[in-house]
């Protein structure tokens, strides 16, 4: 089923944590399908565990999803029981135009009745990227009451994929792909000559559900390579992750 999606280069994709590939014909269908998944996951989590933990991603595709949730799901989502985190962040202050937090706040969080204490942004204004990652990992462990060595289980993590095959800020060939003990790291991205703060593969892999949103013909070659990859995942992080989800 995974390989069938690689043939449809001009369409958009929703990849869920069950390793299902859904092929949609328009961006609007993509956003609507993703919003439906978020709403259902939230309602299920609140019913079963009393709260819903979600990690957001950056990029233009999630931005459209956030707009849709803020508009169409404003009255249907249990906002007071949702806890927001970020799967990755640029090493910039929260007011910077490149900040993933700023984008999510402007597109959704500032427009819905979510308590400020439920929003856990990455403290990326700290000039020490490693300290930022350590602080965010510590905060995640505190919120989830996870002891050292334990891996918290998010209810839902939203992820995208770049034209080069990266997801979160785990870029092909970067050292972050080899990290197995940390939850959050500062990952040096050579192509941008900067650190990115990112969840690691063990934390991504532990989530109850992961929703990949991939849209655009420029990502089709990487998507095909990722879905058909046989390697250990150190070139394309999504390929390593998809195999782990299928185990």
Per-domain residue ranges of the chain: 32-160+168-214
Q: Two tokens at 22? A: 């859904």
Q: Is this structure's pTM higher than 0.75?
A: yes
Residue 154 or 223, more confident = 154
CB-neighbour burial class of residue 225 (10 A; exposed 0-12, middle 13-18, buried 19+)? middle
The lowest-confidence range among 99-108, 121-130, 160-169 is 160-169
59-94 tens-digit pLDDT:
888 999 999 999 999 888 999 999 999 999 999 999
* Residue 237 binned pLDDT confidence (cut-offs 50, 70, 90): low
Instruction: Output the pLDDT for position 227.
Output: 67
Average pLDDT, the chain: 84
**pLDDT band at residue 245 using 50, 70 and 90 as cut-offs:** very low
Average pLDDT over residues 147-173: 89
pLDDT of residue 232: 42
Nearest to 69 by CA among 37, 99, 101, 44: 37
Position 179 scores a pLDDT of 93
Using N-to-C axis directions, what is the helix angle for 60-72 and 27-49, rounded to 10°? 60
Does 165 or 14 have the greater pLDDT score? 165
Per-residue pLDDT tens digits for 174-216: 999 999 999 999 999 999 999 999 999 999 999 999 998 887 6
Q: What's the mean pLDDT in 116-145? A: 98
**What CATH number is given for 32-160+168-214 in this structure?**
3.40.50.1360
Q: What is the pLDDT of residue 66?
A: 97
């Amino acid at each position: 089923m995974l390989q069938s999606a690689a043939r449809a280069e001009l369409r958009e994709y929703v990849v869920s944590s069950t390793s299902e590939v859904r092929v949609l014909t328009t961006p609007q269908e993509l956003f609507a399908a993703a919003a439906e998944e978020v709403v259902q996951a939230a309602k299920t989590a609140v019913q079963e565990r009393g709260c819903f933990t979600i990690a957001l991603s950056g990029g233009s595709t999630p931005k459209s999803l956030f707009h849709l949730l803020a508009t169409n799901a404003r009255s249907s989502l249990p906002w007071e029981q949702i806890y927001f985190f970020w799967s990755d962040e640029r090493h910039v202050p929260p007011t910077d135009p490149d900040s993933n937090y700023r984008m999510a706040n402007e597109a959704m969080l500032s427009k819905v009745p979510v308590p400020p204490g439920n929003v856990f942004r990455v403290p990326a204004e700290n000039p020490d990227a490693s300290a930022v990652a350590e602080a965010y990992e510590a905060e995640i462990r505190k919120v989830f009451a996870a002891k050292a060595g334990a891996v918290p289980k998010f209810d839902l993590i939203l992820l995208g994929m770049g034209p080069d095959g990266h997801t979160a800020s785990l870029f092909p060939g970067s050292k972050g792909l080899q990290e197995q003990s940390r939850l959050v790291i500062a990952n040096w991205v050579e192509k941008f000559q900067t650190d990115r703060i990112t969840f690691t593969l063990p934390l991504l892999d532990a989530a109850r559900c992961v929703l990949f949103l991939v849209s655009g013909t420029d990502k089709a070659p990487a998507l095909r390579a990722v879905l058909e990859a046989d390697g250990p995942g150190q070139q394309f992080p999504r390929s390593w992750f998809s195999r782990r989800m299928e185990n």
